[in-house]
Amino acid sequence: MSDPTVLVAADAGVATLTINRPSALNALNSTVLVELDRAVSALAADPSLRAVVVTGAGGKAFVAGADIVEMSAYGPQAARRFASLGHRVLAALEALPVPVIAAVNGFCLGGGCELALSCDLIYASDTARFGQPEVNLGLMPGFGGTQRLARRVGAARAAELIYTARQVKADEAVRIGLVLDVFPLADLLGRVHEMAAGIAAKGPAAVRASKLAIARGLDAPLAVGNALEIETFANLFDTADAREGMQAFVEKRPAHFRNA
């Protein structure tokens, strides 16, 4: 049997998804997308999940794009199916109820950049290179790049990156707001896992409610987003964890959250 193309590891509520096709710089073919879909569906159903880390195997690439060899045999129908599959899987990853963090450890191009953009937070190694190089192939982004990159870095910067296909180093990626922070390659995964463990120690319902309010609010007029915040804020007062968190503050002791 061939190796799984998506590795799943879990530790204390933090799941790590590793795209595992290092011989093709982790390029996303249909098999990877189907395995990623399966992994994300399983995580979505796990009430003990607190955070997810996404990274790439092999030390050279996060993901170097959609699989060009597979796409080279496509006509429009197959391309529509492939783009629809990619969109569905990345939307499911984005919609996970907990924070999803990309640990970008090398090339992050095309569909790889689109995968990172489906994550709430993106951190990168000093070796990372970002870009949407599809026009080099006579193509355009097909897994959400025209939409999510424009929302993350602004329409003009996204347009420039897509029209020119130029690669962006990690420090520029921070400057344009694509990446939050850069770490030496050897430290990246450890730093991201530290961050994920920190999030996992907070009130689980509070973190999930925060993600929901941010995500839904971004697609809504401000007044609607603000009304959603009032509702989600108020609902947390029904949880034992909010009582514990506030009581612990008053009693000057650490809070012990039980996801209740």
CB-nearer residue toward ligand CAA: 25 or 242: 25
Instruction: Using DSSP, state whether 65 is helix, strand or coil.
Output: coil
Cα(70)–Cα(221) distance, rounded to whole angstroms? 41
DSSP per-residue letters across 4-28: PSEEEEEETTEEEEEE--GGGTT-B
172 is catalytic: no
CB-nearer residue toward ligand CAA: 139 or 176: 139
CB-nearer residue toward ligand CAA: 137 or 228: 137
In angstroms, what is the minimal distance from the CB of 102 to ligand CAA?
16
134 is catalytic: yes
Residues lying near ligand CAA in the complex (CB under 6 A): 24-25, 27, 64-69, 86, 107, 109-111, 114, 133-134, 136-137, 139, 141-143, 145
Do 143 and 86 touch, CB atoms closer than 8 A?
A: yes
Of 35, 70, 94, 114, the catalytic one is 114
In angstroms, what is the minimal distance from the CB of 52 to ligand CAA?
21
Q: Sheet of 168-169: strands edge to edge?
A: 61-63, 107-109, 129-131, 168-169
Of 35, 134, 172, 251, the catalytic one is 134
**Range list of H helices, the chain:** 30-44, 68-71, 76-94, 111-117, 150-153, 155-164, 170-175, 185-200, 204-218, 222-236, 240-250
At 73, which amino acid appears? A
Catalytic residue positions, numbered = 114, 134
